[in-house]
Amino acid sequence: MPLLILCGLPSSGKSRRAQELDDYLSNELNKKVNTITDHYDGRDKNVVYGDPGKEKNLRATLKSSVQRLLNKEDVVVVDSMNYIKGCRYELYCVTKAAHTPHCVVQCDTNAETACQWNQARDETDRYTQEIFDALVMRFEPPAPNNRWDSPLFLVHPGDDLPFQQISDSLFSRKPPPPNMATQSQPLSSTNFLYELDKTTQEAITVLLEAQKTSVAGDQISVPGAKDKLALCRIYTLAELQRHRRQFITYTKLHPVQDTSKIANMFVQYLNNCLR
């Protein structure tokens, strides 16, 4: 089910909004909600956010929790600052892999108000002024034109949450399409890999032999290819094998039905890469 990402400055009211969302989704829509919060494991959050290594581990824990809990039945709410756009992008990629929609709710509280709310907290639950100021400076606000920040709902102090719009974005919208590079592509024939390996290796062998008696500007014929390979200079075996590996990797993800086209495709690829 969908992922709802909360973000905002420290002490901007995210946990209160997370509880309101939990109440609405649970009581009004009869959805099971899993809320993920910052896992400090008993550590002082000022110590965590004051140490880049500890903070990185915290973000990794949040992401792994999302990956573990995201499923087809429950709603996952991430109650954290999520102030780094790269972190929000990673969570968006998790939703793409899980084939589920997401949305972002920003608690758009100004720094002065958030600072007052922070000072009103119990001392054991308060950010130090130094850490608070640093987190405010590092905050990267979401932008609706970024696909990983959209749909975006801005909520100011005193506003009611737009429950219906949030609900529509989570349950009435198609999930983002998965990345093509992460999808397994069916091979077009049982001997596809064999033909791909054999044809590209033959082309490399022909080119290396032709270089011995050719000069720059010659057009070299490759068996099975309509196009000719333009010899711009002398190419090394290591260079040609590197381009061959890259071509094989790409073609595995985008196989063709007619294996007789592989030779011409490889020649065209080399002509583009070896200019």
Question: Any alpha helices (H) in the chain, and if so which ranges?
Answer: 14-23, 45-49, 52-69, 85-98, 111-119, 129-138, 163-171, 192-211, 237-253, 262-273
> Quick one: 94 and 19 in the same domain?
yes
Residue 9 tokens, joined = 């400055």
What's the structural domain count of the chain?
2
Choosing from 152, 181, 210, the residue where a domain stops is 181
Average pLDDT of 180-198?
A: 64
> Quick one: 148 and 264 in the same domain?
no
> Quick one: 51 and 151 in the same domain?
yes
Q: Which domain holds residue 47?
A: 3-181
* Per-residue pLDDT at 129: 97
Domain membership of residue 113 (yes or no) is: yes
DSSP per-residue letters across 149-203: G-SEEEE-TTPPP-HHHHHHHHHSSPPPPPPGGGSPPPPSSTTHHHHHHHHHHHH
Q: Is 30 left (phi over 0), alpha (psi -120 to 50) or beta?
A: left
Domain membership of residue 9 (yes or no) is: yes
Q: Is the pLDDT of residue 59 over 50?
A: yes
* Per-residue pLDDT at 179: 58
> Quick one: 93 and 196 in the same domain?
no
> Quick one: 19 and 118 in the same domain?
yes
**Lowest-pLDDT range, 55-59, 253-257, 265-269?**
253-257
- Sorting pLDDT into bands at 50, 70 and 90, what band is 190? low
Q: Give residue-wise pLDDT tens across range 162-181.
A: 999 999 999 998 887 765 54
Q: Find the CATH number of the domain harbouring 40.
A: 3.40.50.300
> Quick one: 155 and 79 in the same domain?
yes
* Per-residue pLDDT at 184: 47
Domain membership of residue 187 (yes or no) is: no
Give the closest residue to 91 by CA, choosing from 15, 13, 176: 176
> Quick one: 173 and 199 in the same domain?
no
Q: Give residue-wise pLDDT tens across range 5-34.
A: 999 999 999 999 999 999 999 999 999 999
> Quick one: 196 and 176 in the same domain?
no
Domain membership of residue 186 (yes or no) is: no
> Quick one: 212 and 237 in the same domain?
yes
Domain membership of residue 141 (yes or no) is: yes
pTM above 0.85, yes or no: no
Q: Give residue-wise pLDDT tens across range 202-217.
A: 999 999 988 888 888 8
* Whole-angstrom distance, CA of residue 266 vs CA of residue 59: 43
> Quick one: 92 and 207 in the same domain?
no
* Per-residue pLDDT at 273: 84
- Sorting pLDDT into bands at 50, 70 and 90, what band is 126? very high
Average pLDDT of 132-147?
A: 95
